[in-house]
Amino acid sequence: MAKKFDAIIRGGLVVSGSGIRRADIGIQGEKIAAVQGSLPAEDAVRVVDAAGKYVFPGIIDVHVHPVYEDNIGGLSSTAAHGGTTFLIHYAYARPGMKLLDTIKTYKEDALKNSFLDFAIHGALFDAASQVTDIPKAFELGVTSFKMFMTYAKLKWMTDDYHLTWAMDLIAENGGLAMVHAESGLVTDYIEDKSLRRKEDQKEVFVKTRPDYLEAEAVYRAIAIAAVMECPLYIAHLSSGRGVLPVRQAREEGQVVYAETCPQYLLLTSAVYDRDDGRLFSAAPPLRTDGDREALWAGLRSQDIDYVATDHCPFTREQKTWHGSFLDLPYGLPGVETLLPLLYTEGAATGRLHLTDLARILCERPAKRLGIYPRKGALDVGSDADVVLYDPDSTSKVAAADLHSHTDFSPYEGRPIVGRVTATLSRGEVVSEKGRIVAAPGRGRPVRTGGNREASKSR
Protein backbone atom coordinates (compact mmCIF):
# COMPACT_ATOMS: atom_id res chain seq x y z
CA MET A 1 0.00 0.00 0.00
CA ALA A 2 1.30 3.45 -0.94
CA LYS A 3 2.28 5.66 1.93
CA LYS A 4 0.05 8.68 2.58
CA PHE A 5 2.98 11.04 3.22
CA ASP A 6 6.52 11.30 1.98
CA ALA A 7 7.52 12.53 5.42
CA ILE A 8 6.05 13.28 8.81
CA ILE A 9 7.65 15.70 11.26
CA ARG A 10 6.53 14.29 14.60
CA GLY A 11 6.35 15.50 18.16
CA GLY A 12 7.47 19.09 17.79
CA LEU A 13 6.00 22.39 18.96
CA VAL A 14 4.71 24.16 15.85
CA VAL A 15 5.19 27.93 16.05
CA SER A 16 3.13 30.46 14.11
CA GLY A 17 2.39 34.14 14.52
CA SER A 18 -0.86 33.30 16.30
CA GLY A 19 0.24 30.57 18.68
CA ILE A 20 2.19 27.46 19.59
CA ARG A 21 0.79 23.93 19.49
CA ARG A 22 2.05 20.39 19.63
CA ALA A 23 1.32 18.95 16.20
CA ASP A 24 2.67 16.67 13.52
CA ILE A 25 3.24 17.90 9.99
CA GLY A 26 2.62 15.62 7.03
CA ILE A 27 4.46 16.38 3.81
CA GLN A 28 3.43 15.10 0.41
CA GLY A 29 5.63 16.09 -2.50
CA GLU A 30 6.64 19.71 -2.02
CA LYS A 31 3.63 20.76 0.03
CA ILE A 32 2.30 20.48 3.54
CA ALA A 33 -0.57 18.01 3.38
CA ALA A 34 -1.60 17.82 7.04
CA VAL A 35 -1.05 19.59 10.34
CA GLN A 36 -2.74 17.82 13.24
CA GLY A 37 -2.22 16.52 16.74
CA SER A 38 -0.91 13.10 15.80
CA LEU A 39 -0.08 11.39 12.52
CA PRO A 40 0.70 7.64 12.45
CA ALA A 41 4.33 6.89 11.70
CA GLU A 42 3.32 4.05 9.39
CA ASP A 43 1.67 6.58 7.06
CA ALA A 44 5.03 8.05 6.03
CA VAL A 45 8.04 6.96 4.03
CA ARG A 46 10.23 8.92 6.45
CA VAL A 47 9.64 10.15 9.97
CA VAL A 48 11.57 13.13 11.35
CA ASP A 49 11.73 13.17 15.14
CA ALA A 50 11.08 16.73 16.33
CA ALA A 51 10.53 15.92 20.01
CA GLY A 52 11.82 18.73 22.19
CA LYS A 53 12.21 21.06 19.23
CA TYR A 54 10.41 24.10 17.92
CA VAL A 55 9.11 23.78 14.37
CA PHE A 56 9.14 27.11 12.54
CA PRO A 57 8.12 28.00 9.02
CA GLY A 58 11.22 28.46 6.88
CA ILE A 59 12.94 31.76 7.66
CA ILE A 60 12.70 34.45 4.98
CA ASP A 61 15.60 36.87 4.55
CA VAL A 62 14.44 39.65 2.26
CA HIS A 63 17.76 41.55 2.14
CA VAL A 64 20.96 39.81 1.05
CA HIS A 65 23.83 40.69 -1.27
CA PRO A 66 25.30 37.74 -3.21
CA VAL A 67 28.42 39.65 -4.10
CA TYR A 68 31.82 40.30 -2.52
CA GLU A 69 32.87 36.93 -0.99
CA ASP A 70 29.59 34.96 -1.17
CA ASN A 71 28.04 34.19 -4.54
CA ILE A 72 24.42 33.07 -4.89
CA GLY A 73 25.20 29.38 -4.45
CA GLY A 74 27.44 29.88 -1.43
CA LEU A 75 25.13 32.41 0.18
CA SER A 76 22.12 30.09 -0.14
CA SER A 77 24.10 27.23 1.40
CA THR A 78 25.20 29.42 4.29
CA ALA A 79 21.63 30.64 4.81
CA ALA A 80 20.26 27.08 4.90
CA HIS A 81 22.62 26.20 7.75
CA GLY A 82 20.90 28.95 9.76
CA GLY A 83 17.31 27.93 8.99
CA THR A 84 16.61 30.30 6.12
CA THR A 85 14.66 28.78 3.23
CA PHE A 86 13.89 31.79 1.05
CA LEU A 87 16.16 34.66 -0.01
CA ILE A 88 15.61 37.88 -1.90
CA HIS A 89 18.80 38.98 -3.60
CA TYR A 90 19.60 42.55 -4.58
CA ALA A 91 20.63 42.69 -8.24
CA TYR A 92 23.30 45.41 -8.24
CA ALA A 93 22.88 47.51 -11.37
CA ARG A 94 25.84 49.82 -10.88
CA PRO A 95 26.50 52.92 -12.99
CA GLY A 96 26.95 51.92 -16.62
CA MET A 97 25.03 48.65 -16.17
CA LYS A 98 21.59 47.84 -17.54
CA LEU A 99 18.98 46.96 -14.93
CA LEU A 100 17.32 44.30 -17.09
CA ASP A 101 20.61 42.64 -18.02
CA THR A 102 21.63 42.57 -14.37
CA ILE A 103 18.36 40.97 -13.29
CA LYS A 104 18.69 38.30 -15.98
CA THR A 105 22.26 37.52 -14.93
CA TYR A 106 21.28 37.11 -11.27
CA LYS A 107 18.30 34.94 -12.15
CA GLU A 108 20.35 32.66 -14.39
CA ASP A 109 23.01 32.33 -11.70
CA ALA A 110 20.42 31.45 -9.06
CA LEU A 111 18.71 28.87 -11.28
CA LYS A 112 22.04 27.08 -11.73
CA ASN A 113 23.45 27.41 -8.23
CA SER A 114 20.91 28.25 -5.53
CA PHE A 115 20.04 25.65 -2.91
CA LEU A 116 16.99 27.71 -1.91
CA ASP A 117 14.00 29.33 -3.56
CA PHE A 118 14.58 32.97 -4.29
CA ALA A 119 13.33 36.28 -5.62
CA ILE A 120 15.15 39.38 -6.82
CA HIS A 121 15.01 43.07 -5.97
CA GLY A 122 16.24 45.55 -8.56
CA ALA A 123 18.90 47.87 -7.10
CA LEU A 124 19.32 51.10 -9.10
CA PHE A 125 22.72 52.71 -8.59
CA ASP A 126 22.16 55.05 -11.54
CA ALA A 127 18.44 55.74 -11.48
CA ALA A 128 18.64 58.55 -14.04
CA SER A 129 19.74 56.02 -16.65
CA GLN A 130 17.92 52.95 -15.31
CA VAL A 131 14.46 54.13 -14.25
CA THR A 132 12.90 53.52 -17.67
CA ASP A 133 13.71 49.80 -17.33
CA ILE A 134 11.39 49.42 -14.35
CA PRO A 135 8.19 48.48 -16.27
CA LYS A 136 10.03 45.78 -18.25
CA ALA A 137 11.52 44.35 -15.05
CA PHE A 138 8.02 43.34 -13.98
CA GLU A 139 7.92 41.02 -17.00
CA LEU A 140 10.95 39.24 -15.47
CA GLY A 141 9.13 38.71 -12.17
CA VAL A 142 10.83 41.58 -10.32
CA THR A 143 8.37 43.87 -8.55
CA SER A 144 10.49 45.67 -5.93
CA PHE A 145 13.18 48.27 -6.58
CA LYS A 146 15.68 49.97 -4.28
CA MET A 147 17.04 53.48 -4.64
CA PHE A 148 19.76 55.15 -2.59
CA MET A 149 19.06 58.54 -0.99
CA THR A 150 22.74 58.77 -0.01
CA TYR A 151 26.18 58.13 -1.58
CA ALA A 152 26.19 61.28 -3.71
CA LYS A 153 29.99 61.34 -3.87
CA LEU A 154 29.97 57.86 -5.36
CA LYS A 155 27.33 59.01 -7.86
CA TRP A 156 24.92 56.35 -6.58
CA MET A 157 22.38 58.73 -5.07
CA THR A 158 18.91 58.99 -6.58
CA ASP A 159 17.76 62.61 -6.56
CA ASP A 160 14.18 63.48 -5.70
CA TYR A 161 13.17 63.93 -9.34
CA HIS A 162 14.19 60.41 -10.32
CA LEU A 163 12.96 58.97 -7.02
CA THR A 164 9.55 60.42 -7.80
CA TRP A 165 9.70 59.11 -11.36
CA ALA A 166 10.65 55.65 -10.14
CA MET A 167 7.82 55.60 -7.59
CA ASP A 168 5.37 56.70 -10.26
CA LEU A 169 6.35 53.81 -12.53
CA ILE A 170 6.45 51.32 -9.65
CA ALA A 171 2.98 52.35 -8.50
CA GLU A 172 1.55 52.11 -12.01
CA ASN A 173 2.75 48.52 -12.22
CA GLY A 174 1.69 47.43 -8.74
CA GLY A 175 5.17 47.17 -7.24
CA LEU A 176 7.08 48.25 -4.17
CA ALA A 177 9.59 51.10 -3.89
CA MET A 178 12.50 50.58 -1.50
CA VAL A 179 14.95 53.15 -0.17
CA HIS A 180 18.21 53.43 1.71
CA ALA A 181 17.11 56.44 3.74
CA GLU A 182 19.89 58.82 4.68
CA SER A 183 20.02 62.45 3.58
CA GLY A 184 22.95 62.18 1.19
CA LEU A 185 23.91 65.76 0.39
CA VAL A 186 23.71 66.89 4.00
CA THR A 187 25.78 63.88 5.04
CA ASP A 188 28.39 64.78 2.42
CA TYR A 189 28.62 68.36 3.67
CA ILE A 190 29.10 67.27 7.28
CA GLU A 191 31.69 64.72 6.19
CA ASP A 192 33.58 67.27 4.08
CA LYS A 193 33.60 69.75 6.96
CA SER A 194 35.01 67.05 9.23
CA LEU A 195 37.68 66.16 6.67
CA ARG A 196 38.75 69.81 6.47
CA ARG A 197 39.22 69.72 10.21
CA LYS A 198 41.36 66.58 9.80
CA GLU A 199 39.25 64.65 12.28
CA ASP A 200 39.62 60.89 12.67
CA GLN A 201 36.70 59.61 10.59
CA LYS A 202 36.30 56.47 12.70
CA GLU A 203 35.79 58.63 15.76
CA VAL A 204 33.22 60.92 14.11
CA PHE A 205 31.55 58.38 11.81
CA VAL A 206 28.21 58.43 13.65
CA LYS A 207 28.37 62.22 13.98
CA THR A 208 28.62 62.59 10.20
CA ARG A 209 25.58 60.31 9.66
CA PRO A 210 23.24 61.38 12.51
CA ASP A 211 19.82 59.90 13.24
CA TYR A 212 18.14 63.18 12.23
CA LEU A 213 19.30 62.62 8.66
CA GLU A 214 17.89 59.09 8.60
CA ALA A 215 14.56 60.39 9.93
CA GLU A 216 14.55 63.25 7.41
CA ALA A 217 15.11 60.89 4.49
CA VAL A 218 12.47 58.47 5.79
CA TYR A 219 9.98 61.32 6.02
CA ARG A 220 10.89 62.63 2.57
CA ALA A 221 10.53 59.19 1.00
CA ILE A 222 7.18 58.76 2.73
CA ALA A 223 6.00 62.14 1.46
CA ILE A 224 6.96 61.36 -2.14
CA ALA A 225 5.40 57.90 -1.91
CA ALA A 226 2.18 59.39 -0.54
CA VAL A 227 1.91 61.81 -3.45
CA MET A 228 2.66 59.06 -5.98
CA GLU A 229 0.40 56.54 -4.14
CA CYS A 230 3.25 54.05 -4.07
CA PRO A 231 3.84 51.37 -1.40
CA LEU A 232 7.15 52.07 0.31
CA TYR A 233 9.74 49.91 2.04
CA ILE A 234 12.36 51.44 4.36
CA ALA A 235 15.46 49.23 4.43
CA HIS A 236 17.78 48.73 7.43
CA LEU A 237 16.18 51.22 9.81
CA SER A 238 18.79 52.03 12.45
CA SER A 239 17.39 54.68 14.80
CA GLY A 240 14.53 55.31 17.15
CA ARG A 241 14.03 58.68 15.52
CA GLY A 242 13.54 56.94 12.17
CA VAL A 243 10.63 54.89 13.53
CA LEU A 244 8.53 58.00 14.21
CA PRO A 245 7.63 59.00 10.62
CA VAL A 246 6.86 55.35 9.81
CA ARG A 247 4.41 55.20 12.70
CA GLN A 248 2.79 58.48 11.72
CA ALA A 249 2.39 57.45 8.09
CA ARG A 250 0.73 54.18 9.09
CA GLU A 251 -1.64 55.97 11.44
CA GLU A 252 -2.66 58.04 8.42
CA GLY A 253 -3.33 54.91 6.37
CA GLN A 254 -0.25 54.92 4.15
CA VAL A 255 1.33 51.64 3.00
CA VAL A 256 4.81 51.80 4.50
CA TYR A 257 6.93 48.83 5.58
CA ALA A 258 10.05 48.99 7.73
CA GLU A 259 12.93 46.58 8.15
CA THR A 260 15.72 46.54 10.68
CA CYS A 261 18.75 44.26 10.98
CA PRO A 262 20.44 42.24 13.74
CA GLN A 263 23.41 44.61 13.86
CA TYR A 264 21.15 47.53 14.81
CA LEU A 265 19.38 45.44 17.47
CA LEU A 266 22.51 43.98 19.05
CA LEU A 267 25.47 46.33 18.50
CA THR A 268 26.20 49.97 19.27
CA SER A 269 28.68 52.56 18.08
CA ALA A 270 30.92 51.53 21.00
CA VAL A 271 32.40 48.87 18.70
CA TYR A 272 34.07 51.61 16.64
CA ASP A 273 36.36 52.25 19.61
CA ARG A 274 37.71 48.70 19.54
CA ASP A 275 41.04 47.82 17.95
CA ASP A 276 39.09 45.98 15.24
CA GLY A 277 36.47 48.74 14.97
CA ARG A 278 37.09 48.98 11.23
CA LEU A 279 35.27 45.65 10.77
CA PHE A 280 31.98 47.29 11.77
CA SER A 281 31.84 49.94 9.06
CA ALA A 282 28.24 50.08 7.86
CA ALA A 283 25.74 52.62 6.63
CA PRO A 284 23.56 53.57 8.35
CA PRO A 285 26.03 53.39 11.25
CA LEU A 286 25.58 51.52 14.49
CA ARG A 287 24.06 53.85 17.05
CA THR A 288 23.16 53.98 20.77
CA ASP A 289 21.61 51.67 23.34
CA GLY A 290 18.57 53.93 23.22
CA ASP A 291 18.24 53.31 19.50
CA ARG A 292 18.58 49.56 20.03
CA GLU A 293 15.79 49.53 22.59
CA ALA A 294 13.59 51.70 20.35
CA LEU A 295 14.02 49.20 17.52
CA TRP A 296 13.11 46.25 19.77
CA ALA A 297 10.06 48.23 20.88
CA GLY A 298 9.22 48.89 17.23
CA LEU A 299 9.24 45.15 16.57
CA ARG A 300 6.91 44.52 19.50
CA SER A 301 4.52 47.30 18.44
CA GLN A 302 4.73 46.14 14.81
CA ASP A 303 5.84 49.58 13.63
CA ILE A 304 8.82 47.63 12.29
CA ASP A 305 7.68 44.70 10.17
CA TYR A 306 10.62 42.34 10.11
CA VAL A 307 14.31 41.71 10.55
CA ALA A 308 16.59 40.97 7.60
CA THR A 309 20.35 40.68 7.55
CA ASP A 310 21.62 42.99 4.80
CA HIS A 311 24.29 40.28 4.48
CA CYS A 312 27.46 41.83 3.04
CA PRO A 313 30.29 39.27 3.19
CA PHE A 314 33.51 41.25 3.27
CA THR A 315 36.76 39.86 4.66
CA ARG A 316 39.09 41.27 7.29
CA GLU A 317 41.52 42.26 4.54
CA GLN A 318 38.81 44.13 2.67
CA LYS A 319 37.92 45.88 5.91
CA THR A 320 41.49 47.14 6.39
CA TRP A 321 41.92 50.70 5.28
CA HIS A 322 45.01 52.22 3.78
CA GLY A 323 43.87 55.79 4.11
CA SER A 324 40.61 56.83 5.78
CA PHE A 325 37.85 54.96 7.58
CA LEU A 326 35.65 56.35 4.81
CA ASP A 327 37.49 54.21 2.26
CA LEU A 328 36.24 50.99 3.88
CA PRO A 329 33.40 49.00 2.32
CA TYR A 330 30.15 49.30 4.26
CA GLY A 331 28.21 46.24 5.39
CA LEU A 332 28.34 43.24 7.72
CA PRO A 333 27.88 39.49 7.28
CA GLY A 334 25.17 37.66 9.18
CA VAL A 335 22.82 35.50 7.08
CA GLU A 336 23.56 32.28 9.00
CA THR A 337 23.05 33.76 12.47
CA LEU A 338 19.69 35.47 11.85
CA LEU A 339 17.40 32.97 13.59
CA PRO A 340 19.85 31.95 16.37
CA LEU A 341 20.50 35.58 17.32
CA LEU A 342 16.84 36.60 17.23
CA TYR A 343 15.92 33.56 19.31
CA THR A 344 18.72 34.22 21.80
CA GLU A 345 18.33 37.98 22.16
CA GLY A 346 14.58 38.09 21.55
CA ALA A 347 12.66 35.01 22.70
CA ALA A 348 15.15 33.73 25.28
CA THR A 349 15.40 37.15 26.98
CA GLY A 350 11.69 37.91 26.91
CA ARG A 351 12.05 40.89 24.57
CA LEU A 352 9.93 38.95 22.09
CA HIS A 353 7.64 35.95 22.22
CA LEU A 354 8.19 32.86 20.09
CA THR A 355 5.13 33.87 18.11
CA ASP A 356 6.78 37.23 17.42
CA LEU A 357 9.71 35.38 15.83
CA ALA A 358 7.38 33.54 13.47
CA ARG A 359 5.65 36.82 12.61
CA ILE A 360 8.86 38.83 12.15
CA LEU A 361 10.98 36.23 10.33
CA CYS A 362 8.34 34.28 8.42
CA GLU A 363 4.77 35.53 8.14
CA ARG A 364 5.19 39.28 7.88
CA PRO A 365 7.88 39.28 5.18
CA ALA A 366 5.87 36.73 3.17
CA LYS A 367 2.73 38.85 3.45
CA ARG A 368 4.47 42.13 2.70
CA LEU A 369 6.20 40.70 -0.37
CA GLY A 370 3.06 38.96 -1.61
CA ILE A 371 4.13 35.31 -1.30
CA TYR A 372 1.98 34.26 1.68
CA PRO A 373 0.76 31.58 2.44
CA ARG A 374 2.90 29.77 -0.13
CA LYS A 375 5.87 30.88 1.99
CA GLY A 376 6.03 31.92 5.63
CA ALA A 377 3.36 29.50 6.92
CA LEU A 378 2.94 25.91 8.08
CA ASP A 379 -0.54 25.49 6.66
CA VAL A 380 -2.04 22.80 4.47
CA GLY A 381 -1.13 23.76 0.90
CA SER A 382 1.92 25.84 1.85
CA ASP A 383 5.34 24.93 0.52
CA ALA A 384 6.95 22.49 2.95
CA ASP A 385 9.61 24.98 4.09
CA VAL A 386 10.32 23.91 7.66
CA VAL A 387 12.98 24.58 10.29
CA LEU A 388 13.65 22.48 13.37
CA TYR A 389 15.20 24.39 16.26
CA ASP A 390 16.62 22.77 19.39
CA PRO A 391 16.26 25.27 22.27
CA ASP A 392 18.36 23.20 24.68
CA SER A 393 21.65 23.62 22.84
CA THR A 394 24.14 26.32 23.84
CA SER A 395 27.19 27.64 22.00
CA LYS A 396 29.02 30.81 21.07
CA VAL A 397 29.26 32.50 17.70
CA ALA A 398 32.55 31.68 16.01
CA ALA A 399 33.35 32.68 12.44
CA ALA A 400 35.34 29.46 12.09
CA ASP A 401 32.13 27.46 12.59
CA LEU A 402 30.07 29.45 10.09
CA HIS A 403 29.90 28.75 6.38
CA SER A 404 30.24 32.15 4.73
CA HIS A 405 33.41 32.85 2.78
CA THR A 406 34.07 35.85 4.98
CA ASP A 407 36.54 35.29 7.81
CA PHE A 408 34.87 37.19 10.64
CA SER A 409 31.53 37.61 12.36
CA PRO A 410 30.45 40.87 13.98
CA TYR A 411 28.96 38.70 16.74
CA GLU A 412 32.12 36.70 17.50
CA GLY A 413 31.99 35.18 20.98
CA ARG A 414 28.35 36.06 21.61
CA PRO A 415 26.46 33.30 23.47
CA ILE A 416 23.79 31.49 21.48
CA VAL A 417 20.81 29.65 22.91
CA GLY A 418 19.58 26.86 20.67
CA ARG A 419 20.58 25.69 17.21
CA VAL A 420 19.06 24.74 13.88
CA THR A 421 19.05 20.94 13.49
CA ALA A 422 17.33 20.65 10.10
CA THR A 423 16.19 22.90 7.27
CA LEU A 424 13.67 21.66 4.70
CA SER A 425 12.84 23.47 1.47
CA ARG A 426 9.77 22.29 -0.43
CA GLY A 427 9.86 19.04 1.49
CA GLU A 428 13.51 18.28 0.78
CA VAL A 429 16.10 18.34 3.54
CA VAL A 430 18.72 20.89 2.53
CA SER A 431 20.72 21.14 5.74
CA GLU A 432 20.84 18.59 8.55
CA LYS A 433 23.14 18.36 11.56
CA GLY A 434 25.48 20.98 10.13
CA ARG A 435 25.78 19.44 6.64
CA ILE A 436 24.29 20.41 3.29
CA VAL A 437 22.61 17.30 1.88
CA ALA A 438 20.90 18.75 -1.21
CA ALA A 439 22.25 19.68 -4.64
CA PRO A 440 22.79 23.22 -5.96
CA GLY A 441 20.40 24.44 -8.62
CA ARG A 442 17.28 23.12 -6.89
CA GLY A 443 16.08 26.63 -5.98
CA ARG A 444 13.15 28.11 -7.90
CA PRO A 445 12.29 31.72 -8.62
CA VAL A 446 9.18 33.10 -6.94
CA ARG A 447 7.42 36.17 -8.23
CA THR A 448 6.73 38.65 -5.47
CA GLY A 449 3.88 41.12 -5.21
CA GLY A 450 0.86 38.91 -5.73
CA ASN A 451 -1.02 39.61 -2.49
CA ARG A 452 0.41 42.95 -1.43
CA GLU A 453 -1.93 45.79 -0.60
CA ALA A 454 -3.15 47.54 -3.71
CA SER A 455 -1.02 50.42 -4.90
CA LYS A 456 -1.90 53.16 -7.33
CA SER A 457 -4.94 52.70 -9.55
CA ARG A 458 -5.03 54.58 -12.83
pLDDT digits (tens, 9 = 90+) for 92-126: 999 999 999 999 999 999 999 999 999 999 999 99
Mean residue pLDDT of the chain comes to: 95
pLDDT value for 99: 98
With a cut of 80, say whether residue 458 has pLDDT above it.
Answer: no
With a cut of 60, say whether residue 16 has pLDDT above it.
Answer: yes
Q: How confident is the model at residue 2 (pLDDT cuts 50, 70, 90)?
A: confident
Torsion of CA 31, 36, 41, 44, to 10 degrees: -20
Amino acid at 287: R
pLDDT value for 355: 98
User: What percentage of residues in the chain have a pLDDT greater than 70?
Assistant: 98
Strand 232-234 to 54-57 pairing: unpaired
**Cβ neighbours of residue 353 closer than 8 Å, sequence gap 6 or more:** 347
In 56-201, alpha helices (H): 72-81, 99-113, 127-130, 134-139, 160-172, 184-196
Cα–Cα distance measured from residue 122 to residue 146, given in angstroms and rounded to the nearest whole number: 6
pLDDT value for 455: 45
pLDDT value for 321: 77
The ranges of the chain annotated as CATH 3.20.20.140 are: 58-368
Contact of 99 with 442, CB cutoff 8 Å: no
Whether this prediction's pTM lies above 0.75 is answered by yes
Q: What is the DSSP string of 184-227?
A: HHHHHHHHHHHHHTT--TTTTHHHHS-HHHHHHHHHHHHHHHHH
Specify whether the backbone of 373 is left (phi greater than 0), alpha (psi in -120 to 50) or beta. alpha
pLDDT value for 279: 96
The ranges of the chain annotated as CATH 2.30.40.10 are: 5-55+379-391+412-436
Cα–Cα distance measured from residue 449 to residue 112, given in angstroms and rounded to the nearest whole number: 24
Contact of 82 with 388, CB cutoff 8 Å: no
Answer whether CATH 2.30.40.10 is correct for domain 5-55+379-391+412-436: yes
Q: Please write the tens of the pLDDT for every residue from 38-67.
A: 999 999 999 999 999 999 999 999 999 998
Torsion of CA 82, 88, 92, 97, to 10 degrees: 140
Amino acid at 292: R
Pick the CATH number of 58-368 from 3.90.1150.10, 3.20.20.140, 3.40.50.300, 3.40.50.1820: 3.20.20.140
Contact of 374 with 449, CB cutoff 8 Å: no
SS3 360: helix
Q: How confident is the model at residue 31 (pLDDT cuts 50, 70, 90)?
A: very high
